[in-house]
Every structure is written in structure tokens, then in C-alpha cells.
Amino acid sequence: MTRSRFRHLAVVLFAFALRVDAQSPSPNPATSQTPPPPACVAPEFRQFDFWLGRWKVTNPKGVQVGTSEITRVSEGCAVRERWISAGGQEGTSLNYYDQSNHQWHQDWVGADGTILHLHGGLKDGAMLLTDEEPGAKSSVISRISYTPLPDKKVKQEWKLSKDQGKTWQTSFLGTYEKAGD
């Protein structure tokens, strides 16, 4: 091979190599580094863990009124509830701890059209959530408590007030008992 042909071939190969390199994707810094640590590891994010599981839910007379499945979602940053009443109506809540205001929040949507936006936190060993806003003149205030019981059950009590919290009426009282797998 003559010297000029060799130079020409070297230039063509070099140009080809540049072209291939330009078409190759650059390494993504997000994938080439170690993944970030989980975001929701503070102990507050585990305050509602006593409610996790598959449950059958009974009323005070022991009659099953529904089932509920409570799971961690979003890599541990939220707790999702999937409720099915004995009559087949469904509802879902998303529960999450907000570090900016140091409160738990629950957003509930029921198949009957009920929508709740609750907030609160642990009080005397129970998760207490309410839609009460200081100074607000709501026609009905909801207050829901979730209390872990010694026998690994959970008591849920939903109370309503129609007189700005002067009196309360129980709307729902249920006991969550672990369902067999």
C-alpha cells in the first residue's frame, strides 16, 4: 500500500470513528452514579405502620362491614388504603407524612362521592386526623382516630360535629382484625 493510500485510509477510519462516537449516547450521570438514599426514612414516616396489612373490619356487634388492605407505596413515602364495604362499595385513601408542616395527611375518595382532606398526627398513641381548620366555619367537621389495640387489632372511630366541635356524633366505629392469608 502506498503512503498516500495509507494516509487516506487512516483519515477515513478516523472520521468514521468520530462519527460513531458522536452517535453513541453519552453516559447518563443519573444512572452512572449510586442511587440516592430513600427519602422517607425518618421515624415519623413509620408512625402509621400499625395500620399496615390485610384486614377484615367489624362493627361493635361483631358483624363484618368490610375489608381493607393497607400498603406502603411510593418507596415508603405514603400509605395507601383500599376499602371494600360488605355491600361492595369501594374507597381509597392516600396517607402521607409532610415534613414541612410535621403532620400526617389523608386524602379519601369514596365510591359514594365522599371526599375528605384530613390532617393531624399521633396523639396519646392514636393517629388522630381531622378536617377542622382553625377559624373555618365548616358545616360539618370530621375527626377520625385509628387506635392500635393490645391484640394487634386497630380501632377506627369517625366522629362528626355539626356545631363547630361542641358536640360529636359517631358516624363509624370499626375494629380491624388481620385477615387470613
Q: Residue 30: what pLDDT? A: 54
Dist. CA 110–CA 88, nearest whole Å: 12
Q: How confident is the model at residue 7 (pLDDT cuts 50, 70, 90)?
A: very low
User: Tell me: the pLDDT tens digits for 117-174?
Assistant: 999 999 999 999 999 876 667 789 999 999 999 999 999 999 999 998 899 999 999 9
The strand pairing partners of 73, in sequence order, are 78
With DSSP H G I counted as helix, E B as strand and the rest as coil, what are the percentages for the chain, rounded to 5? 20, 45, 35
Q: Report pLDDT for 181.
A: 57
- pTM above threshold 0.85: no
Phi, psi of 172 (to 5 degrees): -150, 135
Grade residue 26 by pLDDT with cuts at 50, 70 and 90: low
**Residue 28 banded pLDDT, cuts 50, 70, 90:** low
Which is more confidently placed, 14 or 94? 94
Q: Is the pLDDT higher at 67 or at 132?
A: 67
> At a CB cut-off of 8 Å and minimum separation 6, what does 70 contact?
51, 52, 53, 54, 55, 79, 80, 81, 82
Dihedral sign (CA 53, 177, 116, 105): negative
pLDDT of 6 above 60: no
pLDDT attached to residue 8: 45
Residue 54 has pLDDT above 70, yes or no: yes
pLDDT of residue 101: 96
The CA distances from residue 40 to 37, 53, 90, 94, 124, in Å, are: 9, 20, 28, 15, 23
CA pair distance 141, 29, nearest whole angstrom: 49
Q: Can you give the pLDDT at residue 139? A: 87
Rounded Cα distance between 38 and 70, Å, is 21
Mean pLDDT (the chain, rounded): 86
Q: Is the pLDDT of residue 12 over 50?
A: no
What mean pLDDT is predicted for residues 60-77? 97
Q: What is the mean pLDDT of residues 44-51?
A: 97
Contact 79, 73 (CB under 8 A): yes
Residue 176 near residue 153 (C-beta atoms within 8 A): yes
